[in-house]
Amino acid sequence: MDLSPRLQIIEADGLGSLPLFSPLMGDMWSSLFKVAPTLLEEVETQLLPNHSVIERLLKDENYQQFRSTTVLDDFASAVGSINLSEKVLEWVNQQASKDQEFAKMMREARELQHADVRHPEDQQSMDDAAQAIQQKLQEMMALPSFSKALQQGYDDTKSSQEALQTLFGGLTAGDQKGELHKVPLNEKIALADKLKRTPKLKKIAEWAGRFKVIAQKKQRTKSKDSLSRSGVSIGDTLERLLPTELALLQNPLTKLDFYRKYSEKQLMQYEVKGKEELGKGAFILCLDQSGSMSRLDDQSKGFMLALMAIAKKQKRDFAFIPFDTAAKTYKYEKGKITMTQMVELAETFLGGGTDFIPPLSHALEVVKNSKFKNADIIFVTDGVSSHNPWYEKVFSAAKKEHGFNVLSILLGTSNKSIVKLFSDNIVLANDFTSEEALKAFEI
């Protein structure tokens, strides 16, 4: 319960509706987490309403399919129980607003629950109230509206899981789940709550997911294009084996010989020569966050997170420099960044004017750091900045000294007269989905 402030709010609200709502929430968690949840045949009379709700949940046509994603998963079962508790509570309150008799039953049951039970007749009144609520709930839960409420709980949980994975995970589904597994449970639940309450973050998550798919393809293509065959060597790299060696594996008479040579690393394989060193160089993203960029803010944050995923997967040093008329530098050595830091960056928008010198000055300071030596810079803007001799005198000189390149992405109808003073390559794009802008993922 301490893991989620939202769960505490739901519990407090629930106690104002259904008596003994807390045990019901615990039962929902058990029904999702345990390998073989079993419904007790006999329970205390006061728990009969809860018993009926859980019984109906276990019989729901979509419950088993949903449960397959939550069994023994502490995060999925916790978020699932939060969402189901919330939707069931909303449904109960809706029924009470429509049915005065049901509302009266619950009100009287709450009063008895909070009263000081001194006499057997008081206990009997509580039991009678619980049985009446149970019977009424059973009638109402047969309506389609209850199944719909449960489905909304399932959908919200699935949405939270997917959003967290795409926001904070790696480039592939396996990487995403692996990265999420490393995060403490309380932090994941808190962020799931935040995603549910923040539509903007969910949109950013959707964009991040799209861009990560593209980035993965770009990096895979880059890897293939960066290697060329340059002869034959000996080893055990399966994807580079000569066809004659693979033929040994297909023949029952030579299969054992193949395994012997594999174990001894004596198989003939193509030697490859790299045209460039992959996944090693640091890179810097200077991202315009002036007022005019607000229309593309969700896209730009998804774009940023996809670049961060490349840095994280390849353990590359990465720096992020958001700017308007000022700039700030965030450095992440070996691509290490926490979920909380990602959320803070995704939620931040500057919204001022535009000046190119502050972010480029910050980038130069980063490049002077030995870890970021020769770091390439991706500079993204939809605006213009005034001319200043600094570009030619200071920045150009620093480029020659430190040997880095600048890829500039101009969005919309931005003029490139100033950008060309400091860029090695300039691409024009309507937005971040343009093929030209996606070239950044080849870094």
Per-residue pLDDT of the chain (443 residues; tens, 9 = 90+): 455 677 778 887 777 777 788 889 899 999 999 998 888 888 888 889 899 999 999 999 999 999 999 999 988 999 999 999 999 999 999 998 998 998 888 888 877 776 665 566 767 888 888 899 889 999 999 999 999 999 999 999 998 888 887 777 666 555 656 677 777 888 888 888 888 888 898 899 888 888 888 888 877 765 554 445 556 778 888 777 888 888 888 888 888 888 888 888 888 887 765 444 434 689 999 999 999 999 999 999 999 999 998 888 888 999 999 999 999 999 999 888 888 888 889 889 999 999 999 999 999 999 988 788 888 999 999 988 999 999 999 999 999 888 899 999 999 877 888 999 999 999 999 999 999 898 888 87
Residue 328 token pair: 């700030």
User: H or E stretch including 207?
Assistant: helix 199-225
Compute the distance between CA of residue 151 and CA of residue 122 in angstroms, rounded to an integer: 38
Contact present, 105 and 96 (Cβ < 8 Å): no
Contact present, 418 and 391 (Cβ < 8 Å): yes
324 phi and psi angles, rounded to 5 deg:
-135, -105
Per DSSP, the three-state class of 274 is strand
Per DSSP, the three-state class of 388 is coil
Contact present, 91 and 146 (Cβ < 8 Å): yes
**What are the residues facing 379 on neighbouring strands?**
286, 408
Residue 397 token pair: 């000189």
Q: Domains in the chain, please, with CATH?
A: 5-197 (no CATH), 227-274 (no CATH), 283-442 (3.40.50.410)
Which residues neighbour 98 within 8 Å (Cβ) at sequence distance 6 or greater?
Answer: none
Query: Furthest-apart CA pair in the chain: how many Å?
Result: 94
Which residues neighbour 222 within 8 Å (Cβ) at sequence distance 6 or greater?
Answer: 278, 442
Compute the distance between CA of residue 37 and CA of residue 53 in angstroms, rounded to an integer: 14
